[in-house]
Amino acid sequence: MAGARFARVIVRREGLRRPFPSDFAGRLEGRTLRALRRRGKYLLAELSSGETLLMHLGMSGSIRVDLDAGATRRGGDAGDVADRHDHVVFRMSSGAAVTFNDPRRFGVMDLVPRGQLARHPALGAIGPEPLGPDFDGGALARACTGKRTSLKAALLDQRVVAGLGNIYASEALHLAGVSPRRRASTMATPSGLPRPGAHRLAAAIKHVLQNAIAKASMPSYRSSRFRVYDREGERCRTRRCAGTIRRFSQSGRSTFYCPDCQR
């Protein structure tokens, strides 16, 4: 999409999780997508108009790219309905059709005026990027200092670390050998310095995310990909650990962990 112009924008609903902005298609058509980047779980498309197209896939959303807009699985125009959950189609000047599909409609699309991106409610208080150079054991300890909540809940707080979800929080805690039940404040000393667990956990977060990206072409959420997630009752995969994976609920979300090797 980068460098191409929005030749036509087809919108088949009034909105997703929230209504689309006013004149959504009109504000995109004719504009060039200058750059595409990510912040946390949000995709940010910088437009020649000065606005930014902000997108979030929600829980079930996906983006399908057809590089030849004249040929689809039905042999018709790429703007034709291929799936009833195809809610938005971007026809690009490059010839590509980029389709946003979202069965549960938890996704988001918004247009943010120039200079207002940092103040947007979705991005204003977001924490450091987990794969960025600014995220390490020290950053994690500082974010957790004084927090009385559980460590698992803290990891899901986007102000602590951006973009980490429920599955990979469980995976990282297991890899680091840290209990999800621990109080978040235990990652730091009374003076705010990182404890060894903070360094292990920060490194584990990077590892599980990099591994997930490398395996992104595999079918989503296959349990064979995971160390603990969705493995309740199975033996722990940590070397020399004979524990059994357990599941419990934290803040309405399932947490999987090994009580033997996660302390």
Note the pTM of the prediction, 2 decimals.
Answer: 0.81
- Hunting for tokens 């991005």 — which residue is that? 123
pLDDT band for 114, please (50, 70, 90 cuts): confident
In this prediction, residue 228 carries a pLDDT of 97
pLDDT band for 76, please (50, 70, 90 cuts): very low
Mean pLDDT throughout 187-215?
95
pLDDT at 110 over 70: yes
DSSP letter at 181 equals T
In the chain, domain spans: 6-119, 137-226
What class, spelled out in words, does domain 137-226 have in CATH?
Answer: mainly alpha
pLDDT band for 81, please (50, 70, 90 cuts): low
Cα–Cα distance for residue pair 225/144, rounded to 1 Å: 29
DSSP-based three-state secondary structure for 47: strand
Cα–Cα distance for residue pair 65/68, rounded to 1 Å: 9
pLDDT band for 59, please (50, 70, 90 cuts): confident
pLDDT at 140 over 60: yes
Domain 6-119 fold is N-terminal domain of MutM-like DNA repair proteins (3.20.190)
pLDDT at 61 over 90: yes
Mean pLDDT throughout 197-223?
84
pLDDT band for 124, please (50, 70, 90 cuts): confident
> Exposed/middle/buried for 224, CB within 10 Å: 0-12, 13-18, 19+?
exposed
Tens digits of per-residue pLDDT, 168-200?
A: 999 999 999 999 999 999 999 999 999 999 999
